Amino acid sequence: MVAPLVEFRSVVKRFDDFVAVEDVNFTIDAGEFVAIMGPSGCGKTTTLRMLAGLEAPSEGNILMDGRVMNDVPAHERDTPLVWQSLALFPFLTARENVEFGLQMRGVGAAECRRRALEWLDRMEISEFAERDIASLSGGQKQRVALARSLVIEPRILLLDEPLSALDANLVIRMQSVLTRLQRELGITFVYVTHSQSEAFAMADRVVIMSRGHISQIGSPKDIYRAPANRFVAEFVGRNNIIAGAVTKTAAKTVTIEGSLGSFTVQTGQHDAPRKGDVARFVVAADLAQISVKKPKSANVIPCSLISEEFIGSIVTLFLEAEDGSELKVQLQERELSKVDLKSATTTYLSWADEHGHYIGVD
Amino acid sequence: MTDNRTLRWFLFAYLALVFVFIFAPIFFSVVFSFNSDRFPTIPLGNFTLKWYQTVWNDPDVWEAARTSLTVSLSTATIATALGFATAYTDYRYSFRLKPIYLGLVLLPPTIPLIIMALAMLAWFAKLGISGQVMSIIIAHSVLTAPFAMAIIRLRLSQMDPSLEAAAWNLGANEWSAMRRVIVPFCRPAIISSFCLTAAVSFDEFAISWFVSGLNKTIPVIILEIVTGNIDPQVNAIGSFVFLVSMTLVIIAQVVLMTRRKKEN
């Protein structure tokens, strides 16, 4: 079996008394686009910096190609990082910035220049090669930063929230630049972000971190459709999280009774809870149905419409159940026109049995 | 509105007075350096370069100029190197006694010059190195290094903290990162601090007078000339010193300011 490109084995990082990363285990294969996502302070940037050798793990090992990297200094690793601040050298031109890594590797001047210009050309900014960094726009700087990291032909590229300073339109464009680059080069991208849309749009696999732990690893679809726990379900959003006490357990199903009613869901891979535990399940907003007539389904919550929000052709309806909790339904605009919500005082939110996703007790 | 205008005129006049008090003596010193009369009185005599000729032909003045130049260039080099090292230490590392470290580093300019000069003399005499050019250089370096440190520290505080790590990340070891990133980033501050420390050292009198022994610097020789008799050559020397110092200070300012404009 081929060793994975990167492996974190029980990695812990402490800063004095503060534990930034606690017992992290995961692997990254060659050629993968992995996003590490989580709220600020979850340890995602620390994880990335350890991979670059800018922080040393307090415990555990980080391996690359099966080799323990803990004692390899940053400058001896081929793990270029695209910084959140970009960290371009302000006293050098765009071309000189790109040449930096090559010069450090002892590449001759003429070859440095040729390869730097080739990459600037590839990033479509060759006309700015001799410009000072300060005179470039945000998007152009971004491309210089990418060229500077990729010119050394690494097998892995680390990115630390590189798009956070750009405006929304530019973010979308840079996302397609990044995904295309990653596919063309066939190298591994490790992308740290707090933005779900960036992670889901680009990554093959998403690692969700919370307070130094890994909460879930999976494809964007897995994480969106099957959040493993309450943290992921809440972080990913767009979910209706329904809580209650466990009243009945059977093989692979559990009945949860709360203020919204009593519902039975599949336990999936979770351990069966005990009776009386407080357990939760989610119904994704886009899998929930809305109607004005009470449907026959067993999974119905009566509620009233609070507001609607249009984002392009998608509409999100915000509903309030009788106990005051807020629920969401997301549907296509053209589907909404089929439901006459205006005249109804009570609407019904419902879902098919298979769309209730159990997320365990906590 | 009238109040406002009055106030503005008052402040303007005040500012003008400040400049007059600072520059009038220098201005008159320059004017009298071209005046043929022996005594600085008005009306002026004829225009003359006599005093400059006297200075030019005086081997003592030449000797002093050479000493001053050696001292100020050496001081500027040492002080800037020390200032850079301490500023970088402050930027890069955090340690428990850092406030005390910084306090000690920035202490010398707060000590009255005359006390410092006496202390230096006593200390050098004990070590047996007083009265040499080297002793002036050491004393001036102690005096001016904090200025260099302050200027370079300010520059480092404007640096993106990721910049140095970015250099490591791209394959630069600590020395290469220092040489290729930290020093170039600080270059404007390094040039400014070199010019300013050179200027301070070039003008400094009290310490030079105490520790120089027979190696007189320009300020020391000026004092010797004026204590002997009234001699307009001091105006000529003074004009020259003023020119050198102002040039250095202006270079320092221009280097710092053009850099700032470029980055904004």
The domain spanning residue B115 has which CATH number? 1.10.3720.10
Domain membership of residue B59 as a residue range: 50-263
Domain assignment present for A213: yes
Q: Do A244 and A221 reside in the same domain of the chain?
A: no
Reported as half-sphere exposure (CB side, CA atoms, 13 A), residue A291 has a value of 12
- The CATH number given to whatever domain includes residue A36 is 3.40.50.300
* Percent of chain B residues past pLDDT 90, beyond the cut: 41
Tokens at residue A8, please? Answer: 């974190």
- Say if residue A243's pLDDT is above 90: no
Whether chain A has a CB inside 8 Å of the CB on B191: the answer is no
Q: Which of A357, A33, A64 is nearest to A205 (CA)?
A: A33
Number of domains observed in the structure of chain B: 1
Which of A225, A258, A289 terminates a domain? The answer is A225
Q: Do A46 and A157 reside in the same domain of the chain?
A: yes
Whether chain A has a CB inside 8 Å of the CB on B168: the answer is yes
Cα(first)–Cα(last) distance of chain B, in Å? 36
Q: Do A50 and A85 reside in the same domain of the chain?
A: yes
Distance from CA of B174 to the nearest CA of A (A): 9
Which of A225, A251, A275 terminates a domain? The answer is A225
Q: Do A199 and A289 reside in the same domain of the chain?
A: no
Instruction: Report CB contact under 8 Å: B170, A152.
Output: yes
Task: Say if residue A4 is preceded by a cis peptide, omega within 30 of 0.
Answer: no
Find the closest chain B residue to A151 by CA distance: B170
Domain assignment present for A232: no
Cα A125 from chain centroid (whole Å): 29
Question: Mean pLDDT, to the nearest integer, of B92-96?
Answer: 88
pLDDT in tens, B157-216: 999 989 999 999 999 999 999 999 999 999 999 999 999 999 999 888 888 888 887 888
- Say if residue A237's pLDDT is above 80: no
pLDDT in tens, A179-200: 999 999 999 999 999 888 889 8
For residue A222, the model assigns a pLDDT of: 87
- Between CA A228 and CA A251 the distance in angstroms is 19
Question: Mean pLDDT, to the nearest integer, of A319-338?
Answer: 82
Domain assignment present for B252: yes
Number of domains observed in the structure of chain A: 2
Instruction: Report CB contact under 8 Å: A79, B169.
Output: yes
Q: Do A108 and A218 reside in the same domain of the chain?
A: yes
Per-window interface: A 326-345 vs B, CB < 8 A? none
Instruction: Report CB contact under 8 Å: A54, B169.
Output: yes
Whether chain B has a CB inside 8 Å of the CB on A176: the answer is no
Per-window interface: A 52-91 vs B, CB < 8 A? 52-54, 73-76, 79-81, 83-85, 87-91
Question: Beta partners for A7?
Answer: A27, A63
Higher pLDDT, A269 or A182: A182
With tokens 């791209």, the residue in question is B170
The backbone torsions φ and ψ at residue B193, rounded to the nearest 5 degrees and listed phi first, read: -70, -30
For residue B10, the model assigns a pLDDT of: 92
pLDDT in tens, A135-179: 998 889 999 999 999 999 999 999 999 888 888 888 888 899 999
- Between CA B144 and CA B197 the distance in angstroms is 6
Nearest CB neighbour to B163, from listed A74, A79, A87: A87
- Between CA A290 and CA B174 the distance in angstroms is 63
Domain membership of residue A40 as a residue range: 6-225
Q: Which residues of A touch B166 (CB under 8 A)?
A: 81, 83, 87-89
Written as one string, the DSSP assignment of A65-91 is TTEE-TTS-GGGS---EE-TT----TT
Higher pLDDT, A5 or A274: A5
Instruction: Please name the residue ranges forming H helices in chain A.
Output: 44-52, 94-104, 109-122, 138-150, 168-185, 196-202, 220-225, 230-236, 333-336
Q: Which residues of A touch B181 (CB under 8 A)?
A: 89
Q: Which residues of B touch A151 (CB under 8 A)?
A: none
- The CATH number given to whatever domain includes residue A248 is 2.40.50.100
Whether chain A has a CB inside 8 Å of the CB on B166: the answer is yes
- Say if residue B130's pLDDT is above 80: no
For residue A160, the model assigns a pLDDT of: 93
Instruction: Report CB contact under 8 Å: A89, B162.
Output: no
Task: Return the DSSP state at B209.
Answer: H
Q: Do A137 and A214 reside in the same domain of the chain?
A: yes
Q: Which of A78, A89, A99, A192 to probe the B interface (max B CBs under 10 A)?
A: A89
Which of A175, A199, A225 terminates a domain? The answer is A225
